[in-house]
Amino acid sequence: MSALCKGRYRARIAQDKADLTSAQRLRATAFLAGADSDASLLDEDPFDEVCTHVLIEEVEGGRLVCCFRMLALRDGGDIGRSYSAQFYELSALAQFQGPMVEMGRFCIAPDVNDPDILRVAWGAMTRFVDDHSVELLFGCSSFHGADAGKHRDALTMLAARHIAPRRWLPRVKSPSVVRFAHRLRRAKPDVKRSMLAMPPLLRTYLMMGGWVSDHAVIDRHLNTLHVFTGLEIAAIPPARKRLLRAVAQ
């Protein structure tokens, strides 16, 4: 994927160890307690070595403001190699026919609040998806904070409208889960409040037709609650596809 420049930001593929270390440092700042005061802390794991890493930088000055990684899989038969497979039982998706990409470790610098960053990130993902003829984009979408009660509004909306189709539904694997779809099945979401409480990346997935697992996994290490998220490319509304591809040009 060649560099993508839009307005103040540039998205590019990490080229070397220094680029990867920059991404790991930003991830640590976003995910690990105390990392904002300790520049030596890195968020790293074995998946870093097999993923493609995307960096989004300010064009002027080159500051890294966002990063994420992508793991390309031939089809559902490879899904056991994914990061998500550590936490979710994904045998249903093993039947998926077509190229897949797992997107993970998405983060934006905590002191930056500019919606154009997410727009450029989706432009870069769109270019990657088109270049590799990807048919399913998936990953773990995280809520900051492992207390499910704090995310009740968003989880209520997920339970009411966005649970995965039965044929792809992930099953429980992790010992630490919140079965929110069962708990909240009779609750009625306040749409406005629920969407405001939704993490921005997950909100965008849902706007494009994405779906989630019926349970959330508690990650104490990162202090997050995450749901498996899938997006079938063929299901994205045509108007939304046109907007994404316009950004990806």
For the chain, the structural domain boundaries read 4-248
Q: Name the one residue in this structure whose structure tokens are 């080229």.
A: 15
Q: CA 229 to CA 151: how far, in whole Å?
A: 16
pLDDT score recorded for residue 3? 80
**Using an 8 Å Cβ cutoff, are 230 and 137 in contact?**
yes
**Tokens in use for 174?**
């992790």
Query: Does the structure show a pLDDT above 90 at 2?
Result: no
Q: Which of 22-36, 49-63, 213-227 has the lowest mean pLDDT?
A: 22-36
Q: Name the one residue in this structure whose structure tokens are 């202090």.
A: 223
pLDDT score recorded for residue 33? 67
Q: CA 73 to CA 178: how far, in whole Å?
A: 28
Count the helix, strand and coil residues of the chain and give each as a percent rounded to the nearest 5. Answer: 40, 25, 30
Superfamily of domain 4-248: Gcn5-related N-acetyltransferase (GNAT) (3.40.630.30)
What pLDDT digit, counting tens, does each position of 58-109 carry?
Answer: 999 999 999 999 999 999 999 999 999 999 999 999 999 999 999 999 999 9
**Using an 8 Å Cβ cutoff, are 183 and 177 in contact?**
no
DSSP lists the bridge partners of residue 144 as 224
Name 106's Cβ contacts closer than 8 Å, sequence gap at least 6.
66, 67, 68, 121, 139, 201
pTM (two decimals)? 0.94
What pLDDT digit, counting tens, does each position of 6-30 carry?
Answer: 889 999 999 999 999 999 999 999 9
Report DSSP state, residue 46. Answer: G
**Tokens in use for 84?**
């998500």
